[in-house]
Structure 1
Amino acid sequence: MKRTFVYAMFALTTALIACGGGNSAGTDKTPAAEPAKEEAKSGENPSYDPKRGEGKFTHVDVPPALNAAMAENGNKTYKLKCESCHKLTEEKLVGPGWKNVTQRHAPEWIMNFVTNTDEMLNKDPAAQAQLEICLVRMPNQNLSDDEARAVYEFMRKNDGVK
Structure 2
Amino acid sequence: MKPLKPFAMLMLGAMMLYSCSSGDNETAGGETEQESGLAHQEEAAGESAAATETAAADEGKGVGPVKTVEIGATIDEALANQGKSIFEGKCSACHQLSDQKVVGPGLAGVTERRKPEWIMNMIVNPEEMTKQDPTAKKLLAEHLTQMTNQNVTEQDARAILEYLRQNDKAS
Q: Distance in 1 between matches of 2:128 and 2:78?
A: 30
2:119 is aligned with 1:110: yes
Tell me by how many angstroms 1:46 deviates.
4.0
Q: Distance in 2 between matches of 1:108 and 1:46?
A: 15
**Higher share of residues assigned helix:** 2
2:75 is aligned with 1:66: yes
Give unmatched runs, 5+ long, in structure 1: 1-31
Query: Which position in structure 2 is the counterpart of 1:151?
Result: 160
Runs of 4+ displaced beyond 2 Å = 34-38, 45-48
Q: Is the 8 A contact 2:53 2:64 kept in 1?
A: no
TM-score (norm 1): 0.71
Q: Distance in 2 between matches of 1:58 and 1:139?
A: 21
Deviations 1:8-48 (A, max 9, x none): xxxxxxxxxxxxxxxxxxxxxxxx9x75955x7xxxx9442
Supply the RMSD in Å over aligned alpha carbons: 2.1
1:139 to 131, 148, 160: 148
Higher relative contact order (CA 8 A, sep 6+): 1
For 2:169, what is the secondary structure of its paired residue? coil
Q: Which amino acid aligns with 1:156?
A: R
Give unmatched runs, 5+ long, in structure 2: 1-39
In the alignment of these two chains, the number of paired residues is 124
2:64 is aligned with 1:55: yes
TM-score (norm 2): 0.67
Deviations 1:119-158 (A, max 9, x none): 0011111001111111110110100111000000000001
Of the two, which has the highest radius of gyration?
2
